Amino acid sequence: MTTHVKRAFKYRFCPTDAQAAELSRTFGCVRKVYNMALAARTEAWTLRQERVNYNATSAMLTAWKKTEELAFLNDVSSVPLQQALRHLQTAFANFFGKRAMYPRFKSLKKSRKSAEYTSSAFRFRDGKLTLAKMAEPLDIVWSRPLPDGSMPSTVTVSQDAAGRWYVSLLVEDPTIQPLPANGRAVGVDAGLDHLLTLSTGEKVTNPRHERRDRAGLAKAQRELSRKAKGDGVNRAKARRRVARVHARIADRRRDTLHKITTRLVRENQTIVIEDLTVRNLLKNGKLARSISDAAWSQFRSMLEYKAAWYGREVIAVDRWFPSSKLCSCCGMLQEKMPLNVRTWTCDCGITHDRDVNAARNILAAGLAVSACGAGVRPQRSSPGGQSAMKQETPRREP
Q: Who contacts 391 (Cβ-Cβ below 8 Å, separation ≥6)?
A: 322, 333, 382
Does residue 350 contact residue 329 with C-beta atoms inside 8 Å? yes
- Residue 231 DSSP symbol: S
Q: What b/e readout covers 270-294, taking b as 16+ CB neighbours within 10 angstroms?
A: bbbbbebebeebeeeeebeebbebb
Between CA 125 and CA 236 the distance in angstroms is 37
Instruction: List the catalytic residue out of 22, 116, 293, 355.
Output: 355
User: Residue 83: is it exposed, middle or buried by C-beta count within 10 angstroms (0-12/13-18/19+)?
Assistant: buried
Alpha helices in the chain (DSSP H): 17-48, 54-65, 78-96, 209-212, 214-226, 233-267, 278-281, 288-294, 296-310, 354-372
* Secondary structure (DSSP) of 68-124: STTGGGGGS-HHHHHHHHHHHHHHHHHHHTTSSPPP-PPPTTTS-EEEEEEGGGEEE
Asked if 126 is an active-site residue, the reply is no
Between CA 180 and CA 59 the distance in angstroms is 50
Instruction: List the catalytic residue out of 116, 210, 274, 293.
Output: 274
Asked if 274 is an active-site residue, the reply is yes
Q: Which of 308, 222, 207 is nearest to 259 (CA)?
A: 207
Instruction: Report the half-sphere exposure of 282 (CA within 13 A, side-chain side).
Output: 10
Strand partners, 344: 352
Between CA 270 and CA 12 the distance in angstroms is 35
Between CA 33 and CA 73 the distance in angstroms is 9
| Per-residue CA distances from 10 to 127, 170, 309 (Å) | 14, 9, 18
Helix (H, G, I), strand (E, B) or coil at 313: strand
Instruction: List the catalytic residue out of 189, 223, 304, 353.
Output: 189
Active-site positions?
189, 274, 355
